[in-house]
Amino acid sequence: MTYSILSSDAKLGIAAEATSATYEPPSFTVPFAAGTRYRSAITQLYDRTIRATDTDTVAIAQGHYWSDWTITSEAYPDWAGWLYRAMIGPDQCTPGTVTTFAAASMPGATSVSLAAAPPDGSVLQLGTGATLEYAQAGTPTGSGPYTVPVTTPASGLQNAHAAGEPAQSQAVHLFRQNRVPGVTVWPTYSLTTDDGVDQLGWPGCTLGKVRLQVEASGYARLASDWSGFPPAAEATFTEAQTLAQPFAGWSWAITTAGGTSTRGVTLDLALTRDLDIVLACDGSQAPYVIAAGPMRASGSYRAIFDTASDLNLYRQAIQEPAIWTLSQPVLQGGASVAVTLSLSGWTAGEVSLEEQYVTANFGLSGIANTADSPNTGVSSVTLVNWWNQSY
């Protein structure tokens, strides 16, 4: 008997390419969800020459060939870094402190002894495997080993840890535009799929859009659109899924109109670059190059309408910074992501009486500025997570 293959058995990996459109095996397993799809985009050539017959088409052949991807995922903090690096620009990474327990620690401990001092107030990842846990550090004391107070949770650590177990503070990643026309080599990536039928490598993938989508009722999501070169058969790879937890929708906060708001209901914030698939007569069906255009930032969001401050940004054409932040509780990992539009134009604003509470719908776009990038940009992203190297 023949059985269908479950989508849940499929796996997807990604790697940055050292040479554009030259395949690299996966270095990260992508967590993906329903809505993920890929296609081979093959131009069809129709021979419709007139040959004294009552037929329209006498032959069909293949023309140029490329691939299109949509990857949908819950908003995992480590996957987010791959997307924002591919869309915005280089990662200005400040690595976390990597150290070990200098002495054993018991459950309920309100301080730990570490070989190196983490930053004051940082979130720590302590232990490994079944005893891995997260805690927030106070101000370290000593000259090595260091005594580090545990401020969160207030009840102290949950697990026992032996001397020599790993301890680490978070890395901070800042993504800013720094593209120099004619100089900057734009990043490309290899995707690898094993869907149970084919094991394929998809080189030369360039990101055209990444959307951060938030609803109060579930997890935040990241949706991305890519274009790349034709696939080829490659070896499968070992699944190594992330240990991080995705951001919950309720953790979203907004800073607009000079103040912080927790009234958000839904958000759809897109960073976009138009992709030009350049085709050439060079003896290959593949594109000559896939060129990424300048970046745009645009979005829409809906909020409980209990103040006119946001609506006045639209009514009065006030251009102020807009910052969208997702933050995890410490005990879930303490990761955060902040998408900043240092100069934003509010392009739509309307009040709705259709729901139980009065709501307002807004649209906005990023405007070129030198705060998001010294070279001029429309958005920057700060990501705090456990990926302790540059993306």
Q: Is 315 found in the same domain as 209?
A: yes
Are 118 and 134 in contact, with CB atoms under 8 Å apart? no
Q: Is 223 found in the same domain as 318?
A: yes
- Write the pLDDT tens digit of every residue in 94-127: 999 999 999 999 999 999 999 999 999 999 999 9
pLDDT value of position 62: 87
Q: Which residue has the tokens 């050292």?
A: 18
- Write the pLDDT tens digit of every residue in 146-195: 999 999 999 999 999 999 999 999 999 999 999 887 788 899 999 999 98
Q: Is 87 found in the same domain as 13?
A: yes
Consecutive H or E run containing 273 = strand 264-278
Q: Is 136 found in the same domain as 241?
A: no
* Mean predicted confidence (pLDDT) in 131-158: 94
In a domain? residue 49: yes
Q: Which residue has the tokens 């776009």?
A: 365
Whether 10 has a pLDDT exceeding 60, the answer reads yes
pLDDT value of position 132: 94
Q: Is 193 found in the same domain as 113?
A: no
- Write the pLDDT tens digit of every residue in 227-260: 999 999 999 999 998 889 999 988 888 887 657 7
Q: Please tell me which residue, 332 or 258, carries the higher pLDDT value.
A: 332
CA distance 245 to 227: 28
Q: Is 156 found in the same domain as 56?
A: no
Q: Is 128 found in the same domain as 39?
A: no
Q: Among 143, 169, 195, which residue terminates a domain?
A: 169
What mean pLDDT is reported for the chain? Answer: 91
Instruction: Give the count of domains, the chain.
Output: 2
pLDDT value of position 301: 87
Q: Among 151, 169, 187, which residue terminates a domain?
A: 169
CA distance 85 to 39: 24
In a domain? residue 359: yes
Structure tokens, 31: 């967590």
Whether 262 has a pLDDT exceeding 80, the answer reads no
Is there a cis peptide before residue 153, judged by omega within 30 degrees of 0? yes
Q: Is 289 found in the same domain as 234?
A: yes
Q: Among 169, 185, 212, which residue terminates a domain?
A: 169
In a domain? residue 180: yes
pLDDT value of position 213: 94
Q: Is 194 found in the same domain as 310?
A: yes
In a domain? residue 390: no
Q: Is 245 found in the same domain as 133?
A: no
In a domain? residue 1: no
Dihedral Cα 75, 203, 286, 210, nearest 10 deg = 10
In a domain? residue 79: yes
- Give phi and psi for 81, each to the nearest 5: -65, -40
CA distance 302 to 52: 63
Length of the chain: 391
Are 304 and 357 in contact, with CB atoms under 8 Å apart? yes
Whether 141 has a pLDDT exceeding 80, the answer reads yes
In a domain? residue 13: yes
Structure tokens, 310: 């946001």
pLDDT value of position 253: 86
pLDDT value of position 30: 95
pLDDT value of position 330: 94
Residue among 373, 381, 334 at smallest CA distance from 152? 334
Q: Is 129 found in the same domain as 197?
A: no
DSSP label at 248?
A: B
Structure tokens, 32: 């993906």
Alpha helices in the chain (DSSP H): 77-87, 309-315
Structure tokens, 390: 């540059």
Are 144 and 81 in contact, with CB atoms under 8 Å apart? no
CA distance 256 to 258: 5
Beta bridge partners of 62: 44
Burial-class residue 181 by CB neighbours within 10 Å (0-12, 13-18, 19+): exposed
CA distance 271 to 253: 19
In a domain? residue 62: yes
pLDDT value of position 2: 59
Burial-class residue 56 by CB neighbours within 10 Å (0-12, 13-18, 19+): exposed
Residue among 300, 309, 377, 293 at smallest CA distance from 341? 377
Structure tokens, 133: 């846990």
- Write the pLDDT tens digit of every residue in 60-86: 988 889 999 999 999 999 999 999 999
Query: pTM for the full model?
Result: 0.92
CA distance 370 to 25: 37
What domain range includes position 149?
97-169
Residue among 342, 358, 339 at smallest CA distance from 350? 358
Q: Is 122 found in the same domain as 34?
A: no
